[in-house]
Amino acid sequence: MAFQHGLSGLNASSKNLDVIGHNIANVGTTGFKASRAEFAEMVAASMGAGGTNYGIGVEVAAVSQQFSQGNITVTGNSLDVAINGNGFFKVMQADGSPAYTRAGNFKLNKDGDLVTNASAKVMGFKVDPATGLSTSEATPLNFPTGAPIQAKQTDNINATLNLDARVVDAASVTPNTPRSTYGTSINVYDTQGVAIPVNLYFVKNGSNNWDVYTTLDETIQPTGSPVGSVLFDGNGVYDPANAPIDLDMSAPYIVSPNPNNPPNPPAAPWNVRLDLSQCTQFGSKFAVADLTQNGYASGDLTSINISKDGMVLASYSNGVTRAEAQVALANFRNPQGLLSVGGNNWVESFDSGPAVLGKPGDGNFGMLRSGALEDSNVDLTAELVNMMTAQRAYQANAQTIKTQDQIMSTLVNLR
């Protein structure tokens, strides 16, 4: 019987050494999770109810993975992402099947897909650029690396400026105050991304009232024919009773010269809403604090950054930075039930339960750290101590076999 005990001990110790060696070999593997061998006693049940059970050795009951948090190391690479907390990145393998990983050392391939080192595609929620809202279905993350993004036609101009409250009516002085005295300009974009300059001139016309013109040419836009007016209350604040100002981009007083014969006429009538709600009329000089519009020309992808909530912000050569997607995270009721398939990947099993998808920071999902990677959670010092302990256990089991052999030899040699 002692031979059986020693042999089972040798097998268990050997497997334990295999697990420890695997941990030590992956001490530098990004996102690696250490394993440990868990042992169980083996017994032989007696035949009779009044008998006793005999121990027949030991077995490896399970090799369990330890999903504790690894240290986070800053790398400076914007496509490196670490999970600080619970969750796994969901990826789609080459055969189309899902897998899960903690290794966030991602890259862009030639097709613009965000992929792992094993060429598995990283999954996420696409974001609508118009609304900024993400979808509920996870799809592979892809970015326009081979062609520029489409231009966006301007449909809104926002102006933040101060009109001098000390100014008198333009027509009350001789000569009249020139229309060009208080003016500014901004480029807007048509459907093809062609920049079109829009000039804005403000002319005082009555108490707390300013007319808005778009050209200095009075033959095209005579005095008294502004595109709109802006009114202020007695405190110099924008009056909410103001009528909206829509600029007709086909009008000759908006675009000149040759406004009615552009090289590439727009496919449909085009208006731009001029928002002056942030304008004021205070007793200080005319000043433009901010002047923005929401259109842009076409542009090429220049960089990608990932925020802590998983939003993937893409920057383009036209100066546009917008959220293109949100990285998806997955979690499991029993992560230790996941099956390791190599390449830093796990797949779900019956024991792990189905994956639950979510967004970083929601519920018990962890946050992301861009420009950083999660190190292996292997404690090298502890593993070396475990290795020495396992080695001594192996030697001790070998010694029991040797001792039993000596006993058997003594019995055989009796005369």
**Sorting pLDDT into bands at 50, 70 and 90, what band is 29?**
very high
Q: What does the pLDDT read at residue 292?
A: 94
Are the C-beta atoms of 247 and 271 separated by less than 8 Å?
Answer: yes
Which residues 6+ apart lie within 8 Å of 219 measured at CB?
A: none
Q: Are residues 364 and 387 in the same domain?
A: no
pLDDT score recorded for residue 260: 47
pLDDT averaged over the chain? 88
Do 161 and 256 lie in one domain? The reply is yes
Q: How far is CA 131 from the centre of its chain?
A: 17
pLDDT given for residue 128 in this prediction: 78
Which residues lie below 8 Å from residue 30, measured CB to CB, with a gap of 6+? 103, 104, 105, 344, 373, 374, 375, 376
* Cα first-last separation, the chain: 24
Q: Which residues contact 147 (CB under 8 A, 6 or more apart)?
A: none
**Distance between CA 23 and CA 15 in Å, rounded?**
13
- pLDDT category at 266 given cuts 50, 70, 90 is low
Range of the domain at 332: 73-142+307-374
**Are 288 and 319 within one domain?**
no
Q: Are residues 187 and 261 in the same domain?
A: yes
Q: Which pTM was predicted?
A: 0.75
The residue ranking higher by pLDDT, 407 or 150, is 150
Indicate if 167 and 265 belong to the same structural domain: yes
Give the Cα separation of 348 and 339 in Å (integer). 6
Is 160 within the bounds of a domain? yes
Query: What pLDDT score was predicted for residue 9?
Result: 82
117 and 138 fall within a common domain: yes
pLDDT in the model for residue 5: 78
What gap in Å lies between CA 208 and CA 230, rounded to an integer?
8
- Say which residues have a Cβ less than 8 Å from residue 194's Cβ, sequence separation at least 6: 264, 297
Calculate what percentage of the chain has a pLDDT beyond 90: 56
| Residues 173 and 289 occupy one common structural domain | yes
316/289 same-domain check = no
Domain count of the fold of the chain = 3
Cα distance between residue 187 and residue 289, in whole Å:
16
Instruction: Report DSSP state, residue 112.
Output: S
pLDDT class of 259 with cuts at 50, 70, 90: very low
pLDDT of the residue at 43: 81
Q: pLDDT (tens digit, 9 = 90+) per residue, 354-391?
A: 999 999 999 889 999 999 999 999 999 999 999 999 88
Mean pLDDT value of segment 106-116? 91
How confident is the model at residue 71, as a pLDDT? 93
